[in-house]
Amino acid sequence: MTGTARWTEVSTVGDLLARSADLHPDRDMLVFPGLRATYAAVFEGARNVARGLLALGVRPGDHVALLAPNGVEYVEAFFGISLLGAVVVPLNARHRADELGHVIANGDAVALLTTASEGQYSDLAGALRAGLPSLAGADDPTRLTLDEAPRLRTAVLIAGEHSDGFLPRSRFDELVETVDPAEIDRLRARVRVRDTAAIMYTSGTTANPKGCVLSHEAMTRGPVERARYRLGTGEHDVTWSPGPLFHIGTLAPFLGVIGSAGTFVTDVHFEPSRALALLAGEKATVAFPWFPALLQPLLDHPDFDSEALAALRSIFLIGPGVLLERVQALLPGCELVAACGMTEAAGIYAISDPDDDVELRARAQGKACPGMEIRIIDVETGDDVGAGVIGEILVRGYSVMEGYYRSPEKTAESIDADRWLHTGDLYSFTPEGQVAFHGRLKDMLKVGGENVAAVEIEAFIARHPAIEWVEVVGRPDPRLDEVPVAFVEIKTGHTVTEAEILDFCAGRIARYKVPHEIHFLAADEWPRSATKINKNGLRERLGTTGPQQLTNAGGAARPQG
């Protein structure tokens, strides 16, 4: 024995919590501003949710939809569904009412859980009633018969007492007492690691959301291995992530934290001063801001103090080199971790090496995670490509989804006979053997016969000192097929004109890559999905509003702030 071997220890979602609660019952599992919850308390709460669901007739294998803000109630419900052996269907709080209705119906949910606490920021129950119009008039929320969702039988408030169409929490708690806790333990022991743990619906920016069917192994194996062996101190780590738990980018690392008996620090919503206080006060060792839009407000905040964040050992961050260099200078003892992933792969499938320098992390996202395989193919021939050639990245391994729920045709389009997932993402291999992102396949522009990756133009324009953020989309052109158009946000206190940006590009990138138009947006004007800027929203602006209305009149500067 060398003492350096690493091994795979696959678990069900429910057992992640059960094991950590047994080993560290009094350790803080969750920390919110002004609120802490131990492993023992959350496990008891989760088992109570499972007992209540069982009393309502939910059985192993049934689908349970969940819509709630980040909070103890969300976590207890998520694990409660899993302890029972049922399937979690997380609902995206940013979905429109019709999208929520589609997911509940398409996902064959038999039960629906949400919150209606006093002072809650969003009326989630109201959004669900808008998506399921018959719900408000239901006589009994435990015996539903809705035309919009034929399989839905019950709707429950896991927090709150009054909302039309929903069973109050107090009545749910009465049902909990009718079920022996030992019955939940027996059901948990029967769950297999390849059973379906969750159906995670994609954002649905171009059509109705699609449900990614993910097994327990897919959901737990990679996150727990990374939490134990790759990130932080390897002991009791404290992980901060500001994102919503309905999104795989937050849910996956959260499951890793629970599987390694760490402490997860988050908030109901992202606010820079609250986030900095949490990071410093809890001495976070791992952080998942993921994107510049979340990290830059922290760096620019007057409360930012490098010394207060000295406990940080790793930060997951995808961004331009200038930002990574700034973070590394401010936090020299912290590793900036690059990675790539997607819902269809249950999160991360490639990650940077610990000894990569900042320059490499800025231009590449690492190598395949243990147990995963990667190919990059020519988008037209399907042949594997060599280093430096842009193509579609394919992924295969234990974390790849089983398919899209109730959509065999979409599954066949995405997963081939050899179980390779065709991601629709453009990558290339670097000389070091890492993968470098070049945008979505649909974001590859065809300019006068030349293939142009939008991300390449974005990366260059982002170097301008006055530009906070930039996104590039294609606009149809009768002569060149399409041309690049840039949307930019200017840094607070700076001004820049369209002409100045175009001059910045001229002679430094190929002429066909220089944007034909520059549109200026304020920080709150970007169309967004759950975690990213929605490029379809930008394309809609081009299609519905003429250039004279969108661009600076005469190229005049537009300051931000």
pLDDT in tens, 39-68: 999 999 999 999 999 999 999 999 999 999
The alpha carbon of residue 45 and the mean position of all alpha carbons in its chain are separated, in whole angstroms, by 25
Q: Give CA separation, 144 vs 16, 54, 203, in Å.
A: 33, 16, 27
Judged against a pLDDT cut of 50, whether residue 522 lies above it is answered with yes
Q: Of 4-8, 239-243, 367-371, 401-405, give the lowest mean pLDDT range.
A: 4-8
CA distance 67 to 360: 39
pLDDT, residue 380, reads 87
pLDDT, residue 442, reads 78
At 213, which helix (H) or strand (E)?
strand 211-215
Judged against a pLDDT cut of 60, whether residue 199 lies above it is answered with yes
Judged against a pLDDT cut of 90, whether residue 429 lies above it is answered with yes
CB 259 within 8 A of CB 220: yes
**Identity of residue 335:** E
SS3 443: helix
CB 351 within 8 A of CB 338: yes
Q: Which of 527, 517, 513 is nearest to 552 (CA)?
A: 517
CA distance 522 to 526: 7
SS3 122: coil
CA distance 356 to 216: 31
State the architecture of 448-555 in CATH terms: 2-Layer Sandwich (3.30)
Residue 189, token pair as written in the block: 């022991």
Q: Of 40-54, 338-352, 447-461, 514-528, give the lowest mean pLDDT range.
A: 447-461
pLDDT, residue 39, reads 98
The domain segmentation of the chain, as residue ranges, is 39-212, 448-555
Mean pLDDT across the chain, nearest whole number? 91
The mean per-residue pLDDT over the stretch 263-276 comes to 96
CA distance 259 to 264: 11
pLDDT, residue 203, reads 65
Q: Give CA separation, 407 vs 149, 209, 213, 221, 265, in Å.
A: 17, 11, 11, 26, 36
pLDDT, residue 558, reads 30
- Partnered with residue 560 across adjacent β-strands are 492
CB 539 within 8 A of CB 454: no
CATH, range 39-212:
3.40.50.980
Backbone angles phi, psi at 448, to 5 degrees: 55, 35
CA distance 326 to 332: 10
Judged against a pLDDT cut of 70, whether residue 20 lies above it is answered with yes
pTM assigned to the model: 0.85
The mean per-residue pLDDT over the stretch 165-182 comes to 98
Sequence-distant (6+) residues with CB within 8 A of 443 are: 426, 453, 454, 455, 473, 474, 535
CB 295 within 8 A of CB 320: no
CA distance 120 to 22: 33
Instruction: Give the pLDDT confidence of 317-358 residue by residue, as tens digits.
Output: 988 888 899 999 999 999 999 999 999 999 999 999 999 999
